[in-house]
A and B are shown apart, each in its own frame.
Chain A
Amino acid sequence: MKWVRNKLDQVRKPFEPGEKYEKFAPAINAFDTFLFTPNHTTQKGAHIRDVVDLKRTMITVVLALIPALIFGMWNSGAQYLYQERGLASVFDVPFMDAFIEGAILVLPLIIVSYVVGLTIEFIFAIYRGHEVNEGYLVTGLLIPMIFPVDIPLWMLALSVAFAVLIGKEAFGGTGMNILNPALTARAFAFFAYPLYMSGNAIWVHEGSTDAVSGETILGALASGTYDGSVDGAAASSVAFSGPAPSEASVLANIDFYDMFMGFIPGSVAETSALMVIIGAIILIATKVGSWRIIVGGVLGGLAMGAIFNLFGTMGSNFIEGLVASGQITMEQVYNDAGAVAALGLSGWDATLIELGTNQLFNFPFWQHMVVGSILFGVVFMATDPVSAAQTTKGKWIYGILIGFFGILIRIFNPAYPEGIMLAILLLNVFAPTIDHYVVQGNVNKRKKRLNAAKAQLQTA
């Protein structure tokens, strides 16, 4: 340790104020404080200082992300290898094989994300003459975790550059950004290169063969081809009797346990609800993430899902009624548009048929929480202290609306199954407005109280 310290002191000599490379001091300082604790102490008076600074906060978030990341690496490898080797399920792949394969796939993403992002941060720190901020430690890890594993590296690099430049530095750097930088990167890639960011083919590493299917559950639901081997699907018997998925589908034998544990295709590290919950516990226990936002987001999502389920159930009941009265068979409802048209339904009845056969409407609302990245988004993205609402009441509103819009976009627009991304970005924009009205509401309340007290004084 001493040796490192001495070496660093030696190296930093030309960077001291007044020396030759004074301009580049932030770079060496960042590296120094990354290895050692910052050595500036209070100069005057006695202050009780909390040890929690920005660096500690960010490292806590990184720690909370590690379980999901490790699992994501294993899952990326296992999802690919079990299809490549023609095995029956992901569990037949030897653990180390899957993990190493996954690491080979995922590590380049992380390296590219950090190298590109930190380079830009360093350049701006030197140009603007401030220290390098720690914010990118988290962003740089989050970005590869929410991308499909097969994203070309240059696309990732471009998205990172866009997120750091336009999402962050344009507004003044860490702490000033309006939008969550990691989600900005994903949104950029999503709209710029939709073929690489959505669809059925990209969620599992392609490898050498074309036999690999990378469909996600959300994708299958949106296209109406999910076969419904989900626990609890029996609650609505009509819901999942749609056209069966092809034999090769990855989704043929997935149940709720798999979805909760995350043995499903998806972005690198968002599949496992369990790992996200572990992360959430770390964030909440250390008070780094706001539990109000997390709970609000989950509640909002559940509420919205339940509302849609209600419509879905109305639809399936209607169809069951039709089938029971012998006007049409279940087979025809799904596969024979002519027979449905022959019923001559119009208005609300026609809508009911659509609602009943729409798999997204009928997907049990509580299972929305474990498919897709809604949980990941609510726990790690929505709680970003910079772009979230700051007031207590505002956090509730912000969280609930994120869950609400996330599910709304997911169900209403099958082209955007990851509506949670758009929902969080939308609410990021509205967070200051929410805070403003919460604060204003409080001001008004106190004003009213003051006026009432004054009036009482006058009458007394």
Chain B
Amino acid sequence: MSELEPSRTPGQAADEPADELIDLLRSRVARRRAAGDYPEGLEEELEEHFRRIAFHKVATDPDGLREAVSRVDERRKFTAEVPAESSVPGGEILHRALNKALARQGQLIVDQLQDFADVVHDALALVAAAVQNPNVHVHADLVGRLDAVLERLDRLERAMRDVRASELERRVELLERALEHRT
């Protein structure tokens, strides 16, 4: 019977051997922690690492934004003039007359729209420029990756500090033995 084989006796509750097994596994984890295999705070770092990945927002698309601003620019010329062409007999005369009658009200609305479009265009152009300027925004994805690298570096430094040379040799030997065993 192996160390992990449950030693159930007749009438014993089904969960008891499982609990024994879990206790044994926990004690092995504790031994690894004590031996420095799992540096202090490693699991918290792993959890924080994934949390940062999970909540990372999708980066903006500066090229797409620039194209969108160009499209706004192309379409910001308004006119109050309604095309006079018509397929209906006499329609052309009627459209010209309507254009003349409504010209003043139409131009007022167009002027307001033009003012609004100019302001929106200028605001969007500023936003697009800001997104492309690294001094006024943050690349969250790069910061996240940098954090991950720094965390790993930090972990390595702590491991180097905590583990004595002899301990390091022991662990290398263990790994080599495991590799030999596999091959």
Bound pair (A, B): no
- Chain A positions near chain B (C-beta within 8 angstroms): none
